[in-house]
Amino acid sequence: MDHPHIMIMGVGCILFTDEGFGVRVVERLQADYEFPENVSLVDGGVLGIHLLGVIAQADHLIVVDAIRSQGTPGDMYRLYGDQIPARVRAKNSIHQVDFLEALTLCQVLDRVPDTVIVGVEPVDIETAGIELSSLIQSKVDPAIDMVLAEMDRLEIPYHRRNGNNVSGDTIEDCRH
The pLDDT tens digits for 68-127 are 888 899 999 998 877 776 545 444 444 454 566 656 555 555 567 888 999 999 999 989
Residue spans per domain, the chain: 6-174
CATH (residue range 6-174): 3.40.50.1450
pLDDT tens column, 19-71: 999 999 999 999 999 999 999 999 988 766 667 778 888 999 999 999 888 88
Q: How far apart are CA 127 and CA 45, in angstroms?
A: 17
Task: Give the C-alpha distances (Å, rounded to integers) separating 39 from 4, 18, 59, 89.
Answer: 8, 26, 10, 28
Q: Label the pairing between strands 114-120 and 6-11.
A: unpaired
